[in-house]
A = this chain, B = another copy of it.
């Protein structure tokens, strides 16, 4: 694998970022504010944040960094045991809608290079009440997975359910989706899958917001959403691997905590 692959992945993440920002801005009527940050090793990223009337808080982050893993990390990362060098590029998206009728939506895909290389990522949604398109949402993800490998969907779905679980509350963070890592079969096909997932997320958020953004909601429903978001906050701070990794390694605090809900309520 070469820099060609890395750059192809990076370019797609940037292209998808641009598409998502355009779509979400148009739906909301507000602009994203972009902030660049640099990594303490090499490279950096761009956060794009929106605080609007449809999207109460949303973030679309891309980053491309390179460096050397600490000796402690080397043992944990595939292909890093004898060579600590890595390159990583990725896109990460969180949308917390104002309306409790619309789920919070989370998506990320990434590409890592050590002496090995692989894709990882996933998407999941967190409704706080009945979400009428839930079946369609899951079916859409299944269709994409099945197109690329007829055996993987149930594995990726379970991975997501297992990951986004709060053991101390014995409840799921949300309604799940898919989650995968160490995807390293045929590069072209893997990349196709990554792009398909991104396009699916893009189209899903567009259609969901356009369909539901004008539906009325009550204060009681908003309250349900704020309570649900406290679980989202608990998950991110107690369990999320990316958050823990970022905080422990001194990453950009605003980028790491971009995913936190705008307002959360503990009863």
Residues of A within 8 A of B (CB): 57, 168-169, 226, 230, 233-234, 237-238, 247, 250, 253, 256-257, 260-267
Contacts and interface: CB of A to CB of B under 8 A. Distances in A.
Given A168-B247, A237-B233, A266 B57 contact: yes
Contacts of A256: 168
A257 B266 contact: yes
B233 A264 contact: yes
A100 to B, nearest CB: 15
Give the oligomeric copy count.
2
A260 B260 CA distance: 15
Given A168-B253, A234-B237, A238-B237, A265 B266 contact: no
B226 A263 contact: yes
A6 to B, nearest CB: 29
Contact of A263 (B168, B260, B263): B263
A264 B263 CA distance: 6
A260 B168 contact: no
Contact of A266 (B226, B238, B262): B262
Contacts of A169: 253
Contacts of A250: 168
Contacts of A267: 262
